Amino acid sequence: MKFAVIRFPGSNCDRDMLNAILKSGGEADYVDYRETSLEGYDGVLIPGGFSFGDYLRSGAMAAVAPVTKAIVEAAEAGKPVAGICNGFQILTEIGLLPGALIFNDTHTFISRDETLKVTNSRTAFTTGYQPDETVTFPIAHGEGHYYCDDETYDALKRNNQIVLKYTDNPNGSRGDIAGIINEAGNVLGMMPHPERALEALLGSDDGKKIFENMANWEAAHNEIQ
Amino acid sequence: MKFNEPTEQRIKDDKLYTEMGLTDAEYKHVVEILGREPNYTETGIFSVMWSEHCSYKHSKPFLGQFPTSGERVLMGPGEGAGVVDIGDNQAIVFKVESHNHPSAVEPYQGAATGVGGIIRDIVSMGARPIGLLNSLRFGELSEANNRWLLRGVVSGIGGYGNCIGIPTVSGEVEFDSSYDGNPLVNAMCVGVIDHDQIQKGTAKGVGNKVIYVGLKTGRDGIHGATFASEELSEESESKRPSVQIGDPFTGKKLMEATLDAINQPELVGIQDMGAAGLTSSSAEMAAKGESGMALYLDQVPVREDGISPYEMMLSETQERMLLVVKDGTEDKFLKMFDGYELDSAVIGEVTDSDRLELFYEGEKYADIPVQPLSDEAPVYVLEGKNPGVDDKTYDYSKEDLNAAFDALLSHPNHGSKRYIYEQYDNQVGSNTVQKSGFGSGIVRVEGTDKAIAMTVDGKSRYVYADPFNGGKEVVAQAFRDIISTGALPLAMTDCLNYGSPENPESYHQLDASTRGMAEACRTLSTPVVSGNVSLYNESKGTILPTPVIGMVGLIEDVRFMEDVQIQAGDSIYLVGETHKSFAGSQLEKLIDGDISKQERHIDLEIEYSRGMDLRDRLKNGGIKKIAPIGRGGIAIKLAQLAAFHHLGVDASLDMDGEDLFAENASRYIVIGAGGQDIEGAVEIGVLTEDAFKVASRDMTIERSLDAISNTWEGAIPKCMTSVD
Amino acid sequence: MKKIELIVTLQPQVLDTQGEALNRAVHELGHEEINDIRVGKVLYFDIDETDEAKIDESVRRLSEKLFANTVIETYSYTILDEVAE
């Protein structure tokens, strides 16, 4: 599996994301946001950071960048597309995932280790985690409050699209939501940083499975059938 | 002339130069150097180059005492930052710098641009930043203005550092009324570089091109550098336009572009445009290259029309770099910068005139010999006054020491700093082994098992009590922070925050404390490789003399930390003798409300050997944790340890109750298996599952672990509940 | 050429943390008569067009695509004075 790690000006977790997928047995290249094709890539990773400085709204300008169309095509083709932190914000701005990320309730940036519950381990991204397993991933965001209207929230619940929940909601997210997938199950967006949770020495290695699943997408996909 | 500016005659007659910060004698010296009266642009250039901020005119004699070389030092002070070898052809680059005065006026932008500035210092050396640290001082949080400053400064540091993507891994803060209205914001950056990539800020080779890259120049912070060297007054409020605005998004692009440019063989030199922007970068690069430089200022990218050469040279617009590249390769660089979506332009060339010549649309606006501009900056040696020692004896034995313990633990100085550091991204880059919370930051070097321990520390109350020995203690404190991680201390950087040098007592503090620091640097083998001076820190009064030390150390193989975890049942040791040392202590502050001037003691030989011994024991696995004893003494350190690790303490010490709060040097709390024979140590108790109990000869502190944790956690949040 | 003033605000049901913080601060300053502060953004730009229908089309398209996130925000705009070319 070869992944495109999309680099926007202001992306700053791009190297972490690339390293994470390489360590998990995948292949990956950086792809500039000005590219218009993602041909040759089997999946897309949208890293964290402050694309375009988070100016106007986090993710807003990235969502209209030249590469966006190719990301949408990859998602529609069923390839794995994962957006972490700013990447999640971008995916909601593009419309590949429902809802929006707004300012944390504290209106401050929050950076700390957060305990999460894997609420759906029957996805290709999260297979291998036990149902309702608790994991520790760092969070680091200023706009991580997941917002959606009632209808969307009901649909998320109905379709089992909520994959990760905070156990001690840090930002005011609706329903403690930390991460969701699309209906088809191949687009993942999450505010916490699994790419920073790959080694016990750095605090947690709970994030490994997500990247291993992506690197072995077909096997992961078969597991949940 | 295109711009309507005061004439040479008027500058002289009306002494306009004094408004820019030049004295009569300095103006006279400028006239001698030029052989004529300076015009408006030239006067401005001299005034910023000869400001304290750029020339260190009052502090140079003191900085000269510091040892600056050592077997690992690859580059000492003089360039943007110091460089220290860490083996395998790698080195670390680091520096600490103040942004005090801008932060007092506009805390968010002042702090943000302070962080941006220190990052550019590291990047312009060719290094990729791996860690940020900050040392902050505010007045007490009971004052609304200090809460406003804390909020603004912390969000400014986070706003810049988080966006540019460098983890903030450590820091320290102290609240004391001497900083009312004059907060200190010292930012430190540590970067990693390969030996062969080290860059210098130099302009060489006649005909080579000068390239400007970064944000377009506006009228930001005109005379910011001289502003930074003046005492703050009520009028400072009205100087708000002098504060620069940071743009971390452009800063990030500029960082990546600069690191790319440094890989190009055609790059001759590079320097960031920090204080006094274009002036200091161009003058310093020309001086280092022993060259001249001609700049065509109409080529400088500008944000608005009509910016004069004077304004351009003094503008402190952020996120800019100045490069010198081989003649004929300029288009390659411009194209590269275009790819990063940065504005850039060729704005001049290196000449053999030994002069800095400035042109605008063909007219000459300045013609200054390069060497005297940077080398003949005045140096002032003033007279200090030693205020002597106060007549005071300490006896806290009759005080309610249990109440004192609660008061100290719930004070923001000793409580958890989570409110602050959780606003900083401390893990971006995925190499942070130890982040803010307890002890130094530790960042692994990408792709290796090496790690860099980094700390920033300053104990100003000790320096006030005894400038000479207190100066030694601040260096020793940073040394203790580093050895506590198992790292070998390598070198340090310093930020000297003091009052006005024209105040004889402040001058004495500067003199005596730097002598003490220099002695400590020699004994502890931590040469000074970079630094910064901030004088005139006076608002309602003079700040405590606050030398801040940034120190780095090397951990050869960080994997030894993998399985180390302290737990209930581990023994607690007190290492080092406790003396009734209360001058400058937090107990003295709490009970007496002031600091008396008393001699403090430190034996640097013992400091060194004890530190190295403990470090070895940690690395070998004999002990699990080292915690230097600092503010608030043994009692507070044990409480912090308990609260941070959620473990109880059961300890008993053969000393007077008041001694639990004494603050003498060279002491540690150490955790490890019981029954060990550690030089200078006494086993004082064990870690437990629950409850906190510390007994002395005449009093016992007994609390539930929850009470300790809640008090410690709530120290800052309880002050910050109101909306100011 | 016209100058446009575009105002983007959070939809009323979306929590506005800045507005809430300001509300508290204003009350602490003794102004209990002020409530429901909502913070938004104002964008000013020039548009090389004079036909109101065409202006409306451009501004709406860009607002929905970029200037505002219609999941959480609403927008309104005003055509200001003619801009000298």
Over range C16-33, report the average pLDDT: 86
Query: Which chain C positions have a beta carbon within 8 Å of B723's beta carbon?
Result: 21, 24-25, 28
Confidence of residue B231 (pLDDT cuts 50, 70, 90): low
The enclosing domain of C73 has a CATH number of 3.30.1280.10
The whole-angstrom distance between C39's CA and the closest CA on chain A is: 12
Q: Cβ–Cβ of A9/B162 closer than 8 Å? A: no
Over range B422-443, report the average pLDDT: 96
Residue B162's nearest CA partner among A108, C26, C11, A57 is A108
The tens digit of pLDDT for each residue in A10-27 reads: 999 999 999 999 999 999
Q: Which residue of B has its CA nearest to A201?
A: B562
Mean pLDDT across chain C, nearest whole number?
Answer: 91
CB contact A201 to B (< 8 Å): yes
Q: How far apart are CA B72 and CA B74, in angstroms?
A: 6
Enumerate chain B positions whose Cβ falls within 8 A of a Cβ in C.
Answer: 722-724
pLDDT in the model for residue C85: 54
Mean pLDDT across chain B, nearest whole number?
Answer: 94
Q: Which residue of A has its CA nearest to C10?
A: A102
Confidence of residue B723 (pLDDT cuts 50, 70, 90): low
pLDDT in the model for residue C28: 79
Over range B2-9, report the average pLDDT: 87
The tens digit of pLDDT for each residue in B169-225 reads: 999 999 999 999 999 999 999 999 999 999 888 999 999 999 999 999 988 877 544
Catalytic residues of B: 53, 99
CB contact A211 to B (< 8 Å): no
Q: Which of B165, B422, B561 sits opposite A112 (nearest CB)?
A: B422
Q: How far apart are CA A210 and CA A189, in angstroms?
A: 12
The whole-angstrom distance between A61's CA and the closest CA on chain C is: 7
| Residue type present at position A202 | L
| Residue A106 contacts residue A74 (beta carbons within 8 Å) | no
Position with higher pLDDT, B428 vs B227: B428
Query: Which chain C positions have a beta carbon within 8 Å of A61's beta carbon?
Result: 66
Under DSSP, the state recorded for A123 is S
**Domains annotated on chain A, with CATH:** 2-223 (3.40.50.880)
Every domain range in chain B assigned CATH 3.30.1330.10: 401-719
Over range B593-618, report the average pLDDT: 97
Chains that touch C (3 or more CB pairs under 8 A): A, B
Question: How distant, in Å, are the alpha carbons of B35, B174, B197, B639 from that of B141?
Answer: 54, 10, 45, 22
Over range B718-722, report the average pLDDT: 86
Chains that touch B (3 or more CB pairs under 8 A): A, C
Residue B490 scores a pLDDT above 80: yes
Q: Which residue of C has its CA nearest to A62?
A: C66
Q: Which of A16, A54, A55 sits opposite B429 (nearest CB)?
A: A16
Q: Which residue of A has its CA nearest to B169?
A: A111
Does an H or E element contain C8, and which? strand C2-10
Beta-carbon pairs below 8 A across chains A and B = 87
Q: Which domain holds residue C19?
A: 2-82
Q: Cβ–Cβ of A60/C69 closer than 8 Å? A: yes
Q: Cβ–Cβ of B165/A12 closer than 8 Å? A: yes
Query: Which chain B positions have a beta carbon within 8 Å of A109's beta carbon?
Result: 155, 158-159, 162, 423-425
Residue C66 scores a pLDDT above 90: yes
Number of domains in chain C: 1
Query: Which chain A positions have a beta carbon within 8 Å of C14's beta carbon?
Result: 102, 147
Which value does ipTM take for this structure? 0.96
Cβ atoms within 10 Å, residue B645: 17
**E-strand stretches of A53-210:** 81-84, 100-102, 110-118, 134-141, 145-147, 162-166, 177-181, 187-190
pLDDT in the model for residue C30: 87
The tens digit of pLDDT for each residue in B304-340 reads: 888 999 999 999 899 999 999 999 999 999 999 999 9
pLDDT in the model for residue B242: 60
Both structure tokens of B436: 């803010």
Both structure tokens of B343: 């504005």
pLDDT in the model for residue B306: 87
| Residue type present at position B443 | V
Cβ atoms within 10 Å, residue B621: 12
Over range B368-380, report the average pLDDT: 91
Cβ atoms within 10 Å, residue A134: 12
Query: Which chain A positions have a beta carbon within 8 Å of B128's beta carbon?
Result: none
Confidence of residue C24 (pLDDT cuts 50, 70, 90): confident
What's the distance, CA B204 to chain centroid? 31
Residue B293 scores a pLDDT above 60: yes
pLDDT in the model for residue C20: 85
Contact map slice: A 51-90 vs B, CB within 8 A? 52-55
Residue B152 scores a pLDDT above 90: yes
Residue B722 scores a pLDDT above 50: yes
Instruction: Tell me which CATH code domain B401-719 carries.
Output: 3.30.1330.10
Q: Cβ–Cβ of C17/A61 closer than 8 Å? A: no
Catalytic residues of A: 85, 193, 195
Q: Tens of pLDDT along chain A (225 residues)?
A: 999 999 999 999 999 999 999 999 999 999 999 999 999 999 999 999 999 999 999 999 999 999 999 999 999 999 999 999 999 999 999 999 999 999 999 989 999 999 999 999 999 999 999 999 999 999 999 999 999 999 999 999 999 999 999 999 999 999 999 999 999 999 999 999 999 999 999 999 999 999 999 999 999 999 988
pLDDT in the model for residue B239: 42
Q: Cβ–Cβ of B253/A10 closer than 8 Å? A: yes
The tens digit of pLDDT for each residue in B673-707 reads: 999 999 999 999 999 999 999 999 999 999 999 99
| Residue B340 contacts residue B256 (beta carbons within 8 Å) | yes
Over range C63-71, report the average pLDDT: 94
List CB contacts of A10: < 8 A, sequence separation 6 or more.
A49, A50, A51, A52, A53, A54, B163, B249, B252, B253
Q: How far apart are CA C67 and CA C80, in angstroms?
A: 18
Q: Which of B249, B422, B431 sits opposite A111 (nearest CB)?
A: B422
Q: Which of A201, A204, A211 to mutate to test the interface with B (most CBs of B within 10 A)?
A: A201
Does an H or E element contain B497, and which? strand B488-497
Confidence of residue B226 (pLDDT cuts 50, 70, 90): very low
Q: Is the dihedral of CA B281, B287, B288, B294 positive or negative?
A: positive
**E-strand stretches of B32-119:** 73-75, 82-87, 90-98
Q: How far apart are CA A146 and CA A157, in angstroms?
A: 14
pLDDT in the model for residue B724: 57
pLDDT in the model for residue B237: 44
Question: How distant, in Å, are the alpha carbons of B74, B533, B722, C15, C24 from that of C34?
Answer: 62, 47, 18, 18, 10
Query: Which chain B positions have a beta carbon within 8 Å of C28's beta carbon?
Result: 722-724
| Residue B194 contacts residue B89 (beta carbons within 8 Å) | yes
Query: Which chain B positions have a beta carbon within 8 Å of C30's beta carbon?
Result: none
Pairing of strands B267-272, B528-534: unpaired
Q: Which of A93, A98, A145 sits opposite C69 (nearest CB)?
A: A93
